[in-house]
Amino acid sequence: MTTPAPDVERWSALKVWLFSLFNKNPESNLSAVDRMGLVSADRFLDLGCGLGAALEHATATGAKTAGIDPSPSMVERAGERVPRAEVRLGSAEAIPFEDDAFTAALAVATYHHWADPETGLEEVRRVLAPGGRLLVVERKLKRSSGHGLDGTGGESLAKLLESHGYVSAQVETMNLGRKEYLTVSAVVP
């Protein structure tokens, strides 16, 4: 098992429990998985899988699924919730899977936590097979810092993806009720 990179955040069991009070089934996770249009031939990776809501929804499509998270408590909960998924301790910066292992990767509300986004994007590209797609979803912010991305942050991420060899980077808005999200997608050539 690869351990997460040393300076990566590890949420305590208490923080995970508090998070779980309000975030067991975030609509963002379900909509993000729907946006990926998974089919049973897909091999799906949820980066920063948290409590496993996206994993559960993705697994129901028949796709082969896996999740990683640097918090042992999240890994335990997601693994219990979705026994068919392979949930491992890891971080975007150190993904414990082999090259070309996946056809689709999702990161909901986690990119802004990554300690080293450039290393993370390289790692995701490594584990995505040619044609593999990445979708990053973050709350849309009005200011440049906080738990999400503002419009400039979305465009910067799209540029960063292209500078790391991804193609077709696209920034879009996703509205769910009164909540607004930015989605940034790209493909590995």
Ligand X SMILES: C[S@@+](CC[C@H](N)C(=O)[O-])C[C@H]1O[C@@H](n2cnc3c(N)ncnc32)[C@H](O)[C@@H]1O
| Of residues 108-147, those binding ligand X (CB under 6 A) | 108-110, 113-115
The residues pairing with 129 across neighbouring beta strands, listed in sequence order, are none
11 in contact with ligand X (CB under 6 A)? yes
| Binding window for ligand X (CB under 6 A); candidates: 68-76, 148-156, 172-180, 181-189 | 68-76
Which residue number places its CB atom closest to ligand X?
50
H or E segment at 172?
strand 167-176
CA distance 120 to 174: 23
**Closer to ligand X at the Cβ: 19 or 155?**
19
> Do residues 160 and 118 touch, judged by C-beta distance below 8 A?
yes
| Of residues 28-47, those binding ligand X (CB under 6 A) | 29, 47
> Do residues 58 and 44 touch, judged by C-beta distance below 8 A?
yes
CA distance 13 to 122: 29
Question: How is residue 91 written in tokens?
Answer: 């971080």
**Could you say which of 93, 123, 138, 150 contacts ligand X (CB under 6 A)?**
93
Residues that bind ligand X (CB under 6 A): 8-9, 11, 23, 26, 29, 47-50, 53, 69-71, 74, 91-93, 108-110, 113-115
